[in-house]
Amino acid sequence: AQSVTQLGSHVSVSEGALVLLRCNYSSSVPPYLFWYVQYPNQGLQLLLKYTSAATLVKGINGFEAEFKKSETSFHLTKPSAHMSDAAEYFCAVSPPANAGGTSYGKLTFGQGTILTVHP
């Protein structure tokens, strides 16, 4: 079974500082990986996704993530935090190719990381 671990349930940074949100996955073969953001009382918005093409993935709002197979990681970064980045961030995996069975379309999410940005 696939799983996702997000290290740190809360991360606090100053405006203009580097944002680093950590995500590690467990899968026998490289899965497809996603980062979503959730603002209070809203649904999830896709930031970026990795689908076995380039290992460095650029997303919206200046975010990017690097897939590292050797470390089974997919950490999310942004060079300079903005106040509007304050939200909860979720890393997710979907079944790799040939998964079959009842796992079609299933996204498995991490527990989330709340990002706070201080002025």
Partner 1 sequence: DAGVTQSPTHLIKTRGQHVTLRCSPISGHKSVSWYQQVLGQGPQFIFQYYEKEERGRGNFPDRFSARQFPNYSSELNVNALLLGDSALYLCASSLAGTSARGGSTDTQYFGPGTRLTVL
Residues that bind partner 1 (CB under 8 A): 4, 31-32, 36, 41-46, 49, 51, 90, 92, 94-112
CB of 119 to partner 1, least distance (A): 26
Output 18 or 54, the one with its CB closest to partner 1: 54
User: For the chain, how far is it from start to end, CA to CA, in angstroms?
Assistant: 41
Taking alpha carbons only, the member of 50, 25, 17, 34 closest to residue 89 is 34
Burial class (CB in 10 A: 0-12, 13-18, 19+), 62: middle
Q: Which is nearer to partner 1, 17 or 107 (CB)?
A: 107
- To partner 1, the closest distance from the beta carbon of 25 in angstroms equals 13
Round to whole Å and give the CA distance between 79 and 73: 19
Q: Which is nearer to partner 1, 31 or 73 (CB)?
A: 31
Q: Which is nearer to partner 1, 105 or 119 (CB)?
A: 105
Q: In degrees rounded to 5, what are phi and psi of residue 105?
A: 70, 5
Q: Nearest approach, Cβ of 38 to partner 1 (angstroms)?
A: 9
